[in-house]
């Protein structure tokens, strides 16, 4: 087996030695280093005086419970939605041009897609209308007790329903 002997000669020539005592100690060294690292990590966690909820809440990592997105249904949310849809439509047009197809009119497609998003106001069922009516009557009783004139119940019920639908203008509320 000249190959095995040649490997041994090559190892001896390069200064590589087989040191069995170091191989036996290697496992112990790995475990000791890992144990010390865990102890140092726990000590750092304990002495930093931060709670778990505070981790990630700094200027570099914005991990907060508060969303930075605009409120759903607000004008800012609609503008953001329209900008993103326009970007998607532009990307679709680019793909169509690369395939040799005619591009679509982005503004017309955007109007078509956003028009489908407009949901008509849902109907108010009789039970909800009765509950709103009871609340208006209770409010009128409080108004009379404080010396203010009562509100027209049917008009106030309708105003409350429109407010729930998000269609109402601001008015006198208690």
| pLDDT of the chain, 174 residues: tens digit per residue | 445 555 555 555 566 667 777 778 888 999 999 999 999 998 887 887 766 666 666 666 555 555 567 777 778 888 898 999 999 999 999 999 999 999 999 999 988 888 855 555 567 788 888 899 999 999 999 999 999 998 899 899 888 888 877 653 444 444
Whole-Å CA distances, 106 to 77, 84, 89, 111, 117 = 20, 12, 6, 9, 17
pLDDT for the residue numbered 168: 39
Residues 6+ apart with CB under 8 A from 64: 57
Residue 147: its pLDDT value, please? 92
Q: Please give the pLDDT value at position 32.
A: 96
Distance of CA 58 to the CA centre of its chain: 17
The per-residue pLDDT for 90 is: 94
CA–CA dist 26, 1 (Å, integer): 32
Element spanning 153, H or E: helix 153-165
Helix (H, G, I), strand (E, B) or coil at 62: strand
Rounded CA-CA distance 165/20 in Å is 81
pTM of the model: 0.35
Q: What does the pLDDT read at residue 126?
A: 83
């Amino acid at each position: 087996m000249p190959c095995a002997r040649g490997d041994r000669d090559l190892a001896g020539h390069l200064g590589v030695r087989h040191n069995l005592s170091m191989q036996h100690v290697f496992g112990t060294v790995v475990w000791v280093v890992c144990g010390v690292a865990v102890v140092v990590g726990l000590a750092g966690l304990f002495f930093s005086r931060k709670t778990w909820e505070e981790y990630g809440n700094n200027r570099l990592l914005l991990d907060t419970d508060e969303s930075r997105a605009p409120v759903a249904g607000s004008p800012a949310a609609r503008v953001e939605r329209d900008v993103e849809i326009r970007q998607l439509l532009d990307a679709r047009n680019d793909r169509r041009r690369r395939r040799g197809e005619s591009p679509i009119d982005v503004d017309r497609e955007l109007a078509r897609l956003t028009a489908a998003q407009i949901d008509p106001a849902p109907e108010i069922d009789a039970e909800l209308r009765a509950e709103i009516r009871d609340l208006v009557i209770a409010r009128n009783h409080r108004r009379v007790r404080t010396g203010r004139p009562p509100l027209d119940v049917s008009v106030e019920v309708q105003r409350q329903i429109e407010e729930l639908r998000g269609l109402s203008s601001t008015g006198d509320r208690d």
